[in-house]
């Protein structure tokens, strides 16, 4: 019942996002911009590119804006404001210390109940972020290891990774929508004597091309995700030492192999099981699927830390 409720809420949310972007895009392109002397309606390519930008960047930034509420709905979470246990004190005080060092507003601190050892950071800006830690990670790690993991997540916050990823995702989305639409228009209009477009053919080709181009775009986005993991690891190494971060990664790798189920390991390129996968501390894929992995291998991360 809970999964059906979550699916229903996801569908409703996507519909509301689509309607919001459609209405705001229509007002922007047809009324606001022409009022300032910018008329994009005369050229099919320009008009379609404008719409691609509305949906590409609009969808990405709405997802960023909703990232904190989404995370809180996905997990059974509890915010730590007045720590009561030794581990809660450690997590809270470490995040506070790191945020003061970075000169940013302290992120919200949350814990969630999950045996899988993981942590993530998300939020629309550096000064409006959250850091969450699973119970499995908090209980299994030593003090130095846990502090290193928290420093890794604070590295994402301080480096502005959420906004950078959103901008890249928006750019990729824009080109996906634009190229798919233009090619579909050419195919749907080919062979027509009066220049009329076959709407059904346009819709089918557009959907197929969007899927194919999205797969290619995800290679770029995931490359960026892997690159920022190395930077966050380096941030943690500077904060608490590279050896502590190495030990944390080794422990997470060992624990993840023990707790992962086959269902959790399987995910589709088009529909990843965990929408927050790119924000977490750990994740691996082998072979060709490594192109679509949000995280580098543990071995590569450890080697990079040793090379510092």
Task: Find out whether 277 and 294 touch, Cβ atoms under 8 Å.
Answer: yes
Task: Find out whether 103 and 259 touch, Cβ atoms under 8 Å.
Answer: no
Residue 99 to residue 236: CA distance in whole angstroms: 13
Beta strands in the chain (DSSP E): 77-79, 108-112, 119-125, 128-134
Residues 6+ apart with CB under 8 A from 250: 298, 302
Could you confirm whether 145 is annotated as catalytic?
no
Residue 289 to residue 226: CA distance in whole angstroms: 13
- Cα angle 224, 227, 233; round to 5: 140
Task: Find out whether 284 and 272 touch, Cβ atoms under 8 Å.
Answer: no
Closest CA to 243 of 115, 150, 110, 144: 144
Residue 163 to residue 171: CA distance in whole angstroms: 12
- Phi and psi at residue 121, to the nearest 5°: -125, 140
**Which three-class secondary structure state does DSSP give residue 179?**
helix
**Which three-class secondary structure state does DSSP give residue 121?**
strand
| From 88, 145, 153, 229, active-site residue | 153
Residues with catalytic function = 153
């Amino acid at each position: 019942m809970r999964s059906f409720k979550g699916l229903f809420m996801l569908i409703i949310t996507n519909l509301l996002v689509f309607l919001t972007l459609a209405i705001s895009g229509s007002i922007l392109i047809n009324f606001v911009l022409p009022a300032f002397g910018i008329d994009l309606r005369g050229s099919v390519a320009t008009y379609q590119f404008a719409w691609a930008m509305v949906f590409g960047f609009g969808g990405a930034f709405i997802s960023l804006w909703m990232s904190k509420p989404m995370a809180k709905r996905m997990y059974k979470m509890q915010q730590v404001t007045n720590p009561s246990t030794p581990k809660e004190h450690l997590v809270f005080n470490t995040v506070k210390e790191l945020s003061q060092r970075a000169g940013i507003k302290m992120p919200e601190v949350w814990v969630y109940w999950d045996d899988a050892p993981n942590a993530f950071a998300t939020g629309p800006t550096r000064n409006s972020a959250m850091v969450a830690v699973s119970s499995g990670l908090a209980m299994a790690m030593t003090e130095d290891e846990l502090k290193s993991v928290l420093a890794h997540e604070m590295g994402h916050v301080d480096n502005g990774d959420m906004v950078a990823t959103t901008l890249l995702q928006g750019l990729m989305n824009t080109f996906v929508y634009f190229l798919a639409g233009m090619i579909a228009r050419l195919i749907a209009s080919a062979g027509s004597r009066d220049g009329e477009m076959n709407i059904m053919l346009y819709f089918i080709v557009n959907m197929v091309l969007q899927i194919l181009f999205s797969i290619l775009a995800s290679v770029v986005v995931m490359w960026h995700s892997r690159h920022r993991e190395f930077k966050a690891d380096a941030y943690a190494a500077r904060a608490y030492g590279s050896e502590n971060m190495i030990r944390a990664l080794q422990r997470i790798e060992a624990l993840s192999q023990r707790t992962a189920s086959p269902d959790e390991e399987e995910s589709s390129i088009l529909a990843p099981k965990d929408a927050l996968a790119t924000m977490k501390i750990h994740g691996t894929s082998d072979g060709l699927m490594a192109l679509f992995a949000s995280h580098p291998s543990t071995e590569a991360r450890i080697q990079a830390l040793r090379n510092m």
